[in-house]
Amino acid sequence: MTEKSFAIEGMNCASCAAHVEKAAAKVEGITFASVNLATERLTVSYDERKADFTRLLEAVDKAGYKAIDDEKERLAARPETDRLKKRLLWSLLFTVPLLILTMSVMAGARLPVFISPETSPLNFALLQLLLTTPVVITGRNFYITGTKTLLRGNPGMDTLVAMGTAAAYLYGIYATVRVAGGDSHYVHNLYYESAATIITLITTGRYLEARSKSKAGNAIRTLLNLAPPLATVLRDGKEKTVPASKVRVDELVIVRPGERFPVDGIVTEGITSADESMLTGESTPVEKDEGAEVTGGSINLNGSVVCRATRVGSATTLARIVKLMEEAQGSKAPIARLADKISGIFVPVVMALAMLAGTAWLIGTGDFKLAFTVLISVLIIACPCALGLATPVAVMVGTGRGAQQGILIKGGEALETARKAKVIVLDKTGTVTTGIPVVTNIVPVGDASKDQLLSTAATAEGRSEHPVARAVVNHAAEQNISFPSPDRFTALPGDGVEAAVNGTHILAGNRRLMTERKVDTTTADMIAEKLSEEGKTVMYVAANGTCLGIIAVADTIRPESAGAVHAMKKMGIEVMMITGDSPQTARNIAAQAGIDTVVAGVLPGDKAEEVRKIRSSGRSVIMVGDGINDAPALATADLGIAIGSGTDVAIEAADVVLVKNDLNDVVRTLRLSNSTISNIKQNLFWAFFYNILGIPVAMGLLHLFGGPLLNPMIAAAAMSLSSVSVVWNALRIRNVRL
């Protein structure tokens, strides 16, 4: 199955989202449909052999909404905030004088004779009609969408607003006609100001909501803006400026100080430092010399360099991150299902309650004005927009906050799952450890010094590609120890190497090699045994048949591992380590990291089985790894977290990617999960509470016992405020300390 997303116009509440999902899911070839109200996008899974997107667009249109398939059309569309701002300004232009006019009368102020309700009732009514009509026209989208959805059996928020304001407006016209006919007492029950004010208040709420949602989606827009539009390439020996999207793989790209790298690549000429904070969240510049990898979107700080493009266009790291975030922000957390279920039936129930309450008050009191007020108030206050925004906006902000810290979360489900974790399983190599062997001990035997021992070993290992050999050679270079190139070199698989330089015969390898070549290692053996017990790889070094000493190499623990493990355990989570290494080495590393439970000597396929065993005990498991051998376990766990430097296979299998290769980011992921899910629960509580409290009040419960009756304008303000407050609450996640 393949996925595709569409921009959806016309949605304003959870009911709208549910109707779009339902319409899309009925189209042949569509296997799954999900709508995110916060991002206003429909994502579908489809069968390529059967799916017809023209039918999908038609189905969404028939449901009363508009689906936009073409990406260029979507991007060219005027931002929602701009449209709403224009509508709001026009509404305010006429609503403010209307309110001044009507409120003045209520306050007892005397109006000019020609518009006074006492002396010129018709003029008073006509002036209100004149001021209200432009507002109604400005809010025509309420009526267009509301009518469409009602006629198609899918009433939503716009239906409620349209019914309430249309009832008030049409009654006002009816009253005006009666005033023109001589029934001047109708001038005191026109309801024009209710219709205009409700439209203006709801438009205000939507404008504020759109602005807040825009802030929530800033993470993606910020990332998109990082990609420079142009690149300077070398073609036919000449510099040429081309669109960054037109750069070809293996093409040479020139990047000058202050410019952003347009593609991922490898430095072939020059030395510089790069600001990669956009990717890692770390502000410290990273040195880049020849052979170093650079990431598109990062800033070249000081030196002019030439890079060979390795990934371009949609394949760049930045483009992949943007795609991942779009998918994450378009996803739903399982906690949203409750709101979806309720919202799907909410609007029809509200319409029924409004009619029931209005009829009951009319029959019980005979007061049409009271009954009419109750009807409109219930229709307006019960709009379930806050319910629909409670989850997706929080997920949007949470994933954006994670991205700023180098934590790429693939969806709302991952955020919710992380919070439930009882066990965290860590891979060893490359996760708890650096994954890079380094020299830990240089122990001479006899008269040789440490420098002589290291120089001799580096000479012998200089031509070897074995990780242990590379560790020795790199350490010698770091210590500024010179070592000549050997005259003769022979690799001895499974044992070590043999070399000769300036008449000196050198052996470097394991004890078996020394025994075979009759080198006396009696003194060195005790040292070697102790170092082996510490989980280190031991190399014997001999020259002309004499053992010079031992060099120990080990994959060292990451500096942050012990602190991260302690933080996980402090959260009440059991931490385990699963590795294919020997039990001895595994126990040593685990002891350094503070890990109590170790499973060693595990084959790649068995890692997944070990994770499955833990899950079968009823405990939720997070697996953290970086290699190809970790991919099955990452996919098997409730939540897979891949260290960012790991393989593409591991990253694809994981639900969360840690760009910085920092185990502390696992802890930050857990904290972000807790904050986001708590925020969602707060939003859902207030959304439910608002409707549970507001509907009975609007139906006149307080008035039944002598209390006040809810004014429709106050109901509109409360409804708008509930949506805005949910979005603002979600925005607090941006400031959560991780």
Residues marked as catalytic: 427
Residue type, 518: K
Helix (H) or strand (E) holding 328: helix 317-329
The DSSP secondary-structure symbol of 116 reads -
Q: Which residue has the tokens 């050999």?
A: 469
C-alpha distances in Å from residue 335, one per residue of 382, 399, 416: 22, 16, 8
What is the Cα 387 distance to its own chain's centre?
20
Which residues does 569 contact at the CB level (< 8 Å), separation at least 6?
A: 575, 594
Partners of 423 in the β-ladder: 574, 621
Cα-only R_g, the chain = 35
The β-bridge relationship of strands 574-578 and 423-427 is parallel
Helix (H) or strand (E) run with residue 345 in it: helix 336-365
CA distances from 193 to 84, 129, 132, 166 (A): 21, 9, 7, 12
On whether the CB atoms of residues 602 and 577 are closer than 8 A, the answer is no
Identify the sign of the CA torsion 415, 417, 420, 423: negative
Given a contact cutoff of 8 angstroms between Cβ atoms, the answer to whether 397 and 727 are in contact is no
Residues 365, 7: Cα–Cα separation, whole Å? 49
* Token pair listed for 222: 């910020």
DSSP state of 289: -
Q: Distance between CA atoms of 541 and 736, rounded to whole angstroms?
A: 54
C-alpha 422/C-alpha 576 separation (Å) is: 11
Find the distance separating the first CA and the last CA of the chain, reported in whole Å: 36
Q: d(Cα 697, Cα 356) in Å, to the nearest integer?
A: 14
Q: Name the token pair of 527.
A: 């040292």
Residue 406 · residue 665 · CB < 8 Å: yes
Taking Cα atoms as reference points, which of 58, 711, 677 lies closest to residue 334? 677
55-91 per-residue burial string, b: 16 or more CB within 10 A, e: under 16: ebbebbeebbbebbeeeeeeeeeeebbeebeebbebb
492 within 8 A of 534, measured Cβ to Cβ: no
* Calpha distance 388→723 (Å, rounded): 9
Q: Rounded to an integer, what distance in angstroms lies between the CA atom of residue 429 and that of residue 269?
A: 33
Residues 6+ apart with CB under 8 A from 362: 368, 370, 371
Residues 6 or more apart from 583 whose CB is under 8 A from it?
A: 598, 600, 601
Where does 164-260 show beta strands of DSSP type E?
230-235, 238-243, 252-255
Cα dihedral 190→191→192→195 (10° resolution)? -160
